[in-house]
Chain A
């Protein structure tokens, strides 16, 4: 039985340097870079996960849009977001302001893609000495949007696979519903 392949576009959204590129790099290539290289524009990567859905095995090809977090993109971001089925919101646990900005991205994304799935990654959980956001803050914000959240570390890989797999399940479940 050959699997059915489904393509889904997923955007990574969040302020600069929160770890969007690093999360994709960890998930797709299982690598990590300490050096910060600001993304400009967009880098698209593809990763296929195999997921069971409605009694079939489905190859879900996630087309990951790693968007730049800097202001320059603000004017294109909306067009970049078009046609996305899901988004990973990313904030940095050591920089509270990156958490405060999340609603801006959510609002923008939902205007373009009202039927999409969103998941929250509170990243850099390995920086135990420098954490400035409490897990219950993250939890209550995720709760208010009814979206799942994960405390991730692109550096150690903690919860990164779980994050993307959970989003994958949501994307397929959303498909079956329609």
Chain B
């Protein structure tokens, strides 16, 4: 091949070379400018180690190449700084130089500019590394969140424990107080003046409220801690509702309230905890009566729910109703509407909170429709027993 063709190949492929003698002193340099060292003309006469510090440490291996014991040395992606401070990537190879008789006379130091390939590789590596850093960071944050969560749960449990112990401790002396008040009111220890009776009745009412509150607290913490267990059995919801209704008869007639009942015939059984359903219905009925003026109308209805697989109970009244703003907050802990508080100072704000938790524990839903001064409708669903 003629020399000019070879020159062309060197140039087109961005390859430069230096030739050394056996002492590794550079004798000849050729190829594109700047690949071998800053200025090609200054390379000649210098040691190969000076123009290529990457070879420091390879002395023994180079010795091997010169003796013909080793083929070559290759170094890929050697980084060098270009004139403008940019990174250039070079591929280097050290191969023996032989004369026409095949005797090794030095080294050919080949350098190819592979910056284009290098930059591509760099971008790939960069993205991958940055992704991995991000992933590491997310993992660490997850770990920290899990730890924080566990800590919070423990604190919450401690709080629940504290409340239930406190409520238990309050209940014992309270029961004793209530017992003695009842004895006094029963005149078991002598007659009472009118004033004494009146005051004792106030004590009794407030005692009952306190008892109600402590029971509510105990119940709410049990529910929150997930310690409430249901005894689920197929039950006739209408029969359970009727039981509650009969218990309310005297209360209703005292307040001259009428009750309309509507039960769809032939309803299937629901899967529920009987005692809990009675608690739910009692709460709804008691609210309906409490927040409806004397002479108002109440109704209970049981029918198949719109959602297949459920039965729906509706308790409606013609009472004070609930403002739209308050409706969303109605089922949260300690929430009482202004209207409710004005009508009945005794409520705790836990009733509907507990009711909702119990309904949801059954797998049902609770919601309401209401308009101020026109009344409210509370709907509850229970799943059918399959």
Binding site for B on A (CB under 8 A): 7, 9, 16-17, 36-44, 46, 63, 68, 70, 72, 76, 79-80, 82-85, 95, 97, 132
Q: State whether A72 touches B121 (Cβ < 8 A).
A: yes
Q: State whether B57 touches A70 (Cβ < 8 A).
A: no
Question: Does B145 sit within 8 A of A, measured CB to CB?
Answer: no
Which residues from B are CB-within-8-Å of A95?
Answer: 136
Q: State whether B129 touches A17 (Cβ < 8 A).
A: yes
Secondary structure of the A contact surface, majority rule: loop
Q: State whether A46 touches B53 (Cβ < 8 A).
A: yes
Question: Does B126 sit within 8 A of A, measured CB to CB?
Answer: yes
Taking the closest CB of chain A, its distance from the CB of B94, in whole angstroms, is: 12
Stretch in B72-80, B212-220, B236-244, B269-277 touching the partner? B72-80
Q: Which of B57, B59, B136, B140 contacts A84 (CB 8 A)?
A: B57
Q: State whether B57 touches A36 (Cβ < 8 A).
A: no
Q: State whether B54 touches A42 (Cβ < 8 A).
A: yes
Q: State whether B57 touches A38 (Cβ < 8 A).
A: no
Q: State whether A43 touches B57 (Cβ < 8 A).
A: no
| Chain A residue nearest in CB terms to B119 | A40
Which residues from A are CB-within-8-Å of B76?
Answer: 41, 76
Q: State whether B56 touches A63 (Cβ < 8 A).
A: yes
Q: State whether B79 touches A39 (Cβ < 8 A).
A: yes
Contacting A at CB under 8 A, from B60-91, are 60-61, 74-79, 89
Q: Which of A46, A68, A80, A84 contacts B125 (CB 8 A)?
A: A68
Taking A38-B125, A97-B136 as contacts, is the C-beta distance between A9 and B56 under 8 angstroms? yes
Question: Does B122 sit within 8 A of A, measured CB to CB?
Answer: yes
Question: Does B132 sit within 8 A of A, measured CB to CB?
Answer: yes
Q: State whether A42 touches B125 (Cβ < 8 A).
A: no
| Chain A residue nearest in CB terms to B120 | A40
| Chain B residue nearest in CB terms to A9 | B57
18 A-B residue pairs with Cβ-Cβ distance under 8 Å, sorted by A, are A17-B133, A36-B130, A38-B129, A40-B79, A40-B89, A40-B121, A41-B78, A42-B78, A44-B54, A44-B78, A63-B56, A70-B125, A70-B129, A72-B121, A82-B61, A83-B57, A83-B59, A83-B60
Question: Does B128 sit within 8 A of A, measured CB to CB?
Answer: yes
Q: State whether A83 touches B58 (Cβ < 8 A).
A: yes
Q: State whether A7 touches B60 (Cβ < 8 A).
A: no
Which residues from A are CB-within-8-Å of B140?
Answer: 132
C-alpha spacing A70/B54, complex, angstroms: 20
Which residues from B are CB-within-8-Å of A41?
Answer: 76-79, 89, 118
Given A38-B125, A38-B129, A76-B76, 20 further pairs, Cβ under 8 A: A36-B126, A36-B130, A38-B122, A40-B79, A40-B118, A40-B121, A40-B122, A41-B89, A41-B118, A42-B75, A42-B77, A42-B78, A43-B79, A44-B54, A44-B78, A63-B56, A70-B128, A82-B57, A82-B61, A84-B57
Q: Which 6 A-B pairs have the closest CB atoms?
A: A41-B77, A83-B57, A9-B57, A43-B79, A38-B126, A63-B56
Q: State whether A7 touches B56 (Cβ < 8 A).
A: yes
Taking A16-B129, A16-B132, A83-B59 as contacts, is the C-beta distance between A44 and B53 under 8 angstroms? yes
Range for the number of chain B residues in contact with chain A: 20 to 34
Which residues from B are CB-within-8-Å of A82?
Answer: 57-58, 61
| Chain B residue nearest in CB terms to A68 | B125
Which residues from A are CB-within-8-Å of B75?
Answer: 42, 79-80
Secondary structure of the B contact surface, majority rule: helix
Q: State whether A63 touches B133 (Cβ < 8 A).
A: no
Taking the closest CB of chain B, its distance from the CB of A120, in whole angstroms, is: 21
C-alpha spacing A42/B121, complex, angstroms: 13
Q: State whether B56 touches A40 (Cβ < 8 A).
A: no
Which residues from A are CB-within-8-Å of B118?
Answer: 40-41
Contacting A at CB under 8 A, from B29-55, are 49, 53-54
Which residues from B are CB-within-8-Å of A42?
Answer: 54, 75, 77-79
Taking the closest CB of chain A, its distance from the CB of B85, in whole angstroms, is: 12
C-alpha spacing A9/B53, complex, angstroms: 9
Q: State whether B49 touches A7 (Cβ < 8 A).
A: yes
| Chain A residue nearest in CB terms to B114 | A41
Q: State whether A63 touches B126 (Cβ < 8 A).
A: no
C-alpha spacing A16/B57, complex, angstroms: 24
Which residues from B are CB-within-8-Å of A16?
Answer: 129, 132
Which residues from B are CB-within-8-Å of A46?
Answer: 53
Taking the closest CB of chain B, its distance from the CB of A77, in whole angstroms, is: 12
Interface flags, B102-123, vs A, CB<8A=1, else 0:
0000000000000000100110
| Chain A residue nearest in CB terms to B80 | A43
| Chain A residue nearest in CB terms to B90 | A41
C-alpha spacing A41/B114, complex, angstroms: 12
| Chain B residue nearest in CB terms to A16 | B129
Taking the closest CB of chain B, its distance from the CB of A42, in whole angstroms, is: 6
C-alpha spacing A43/B90, complex, angstroms: 10
C-alpha spacing A63/B128, complex, angstroms: 29
Which residues from B are CB-within-8-Å of A44?
Answer: 53-54, 78-79
